[in-house]
Amino acid sequence: MKRSNFAKNLSVVLKYKGYTQKQLADLLSVNQGTICRWLKGTREPDLNTLLLLCEVLDESPNELLGFTSPAKKSV
C-alpha cells in the first residue's frame, strides 16, 4: 500500500520537531498505535484531531495533508 501524503508529511514533521510517536500520542491523548497507523498510511485522523495535531506541531492542515509543502522541510 502506498503511503499517503499525510503519512509522509507527518513523518517528516515529527523528525524535524524531534517528537517520538509516544510523545505525540500523549500530547494528543491518543494511543501510540494510532500514531503508528497514521505514519504507515493505513489511517488518518478525524478533523478535530487533525486540527489539534496542527496546533501541537505548529503546521497547517494544508501542509500536513500535502496541499503545500511543510514549511522549511523537504518532503
Render pLDDT for 7-42 as a digit per residue (tens, 0 to 9).
Answer: 999 999 999 999 999 999 999 999 999 999 999 999
Q: pLDDT tens digit string along 49-64?
A: 999 999 999 999 999 9
With residues binned 3-state (H G I as helix, E B as strand, rest as coil), the percentages for the chain, rounded to 5, are 60, 0, 40
Quick check: 6 and 54 in contact, CB under 8 A?
A: no
> What does pTM read for this prediction?
0.84
Q: Is the pLDDT assigned to residue 72 strictly greater than 80? A: no
Residue 41: inside a domain, yes or no? yes
CATH of the domain at 20: 1.10.260.40
Residue whose C-alpha cell is 494544508: 62
Q: Is the pLDDT assigned to residue 75 strictly greater than 60? A: no
- Please return the burial class of 20, using the count of CB atoms within 10 Å of its CB with bins 0-12, 13-18 and 19+: exposed
Residue 11: inside a domain, yes or no? yes
Number of domains in the chain: 1
Cα gap 35→21, rounded to integer Å: 6
Residue 43: inside a domain, yes or no? yes
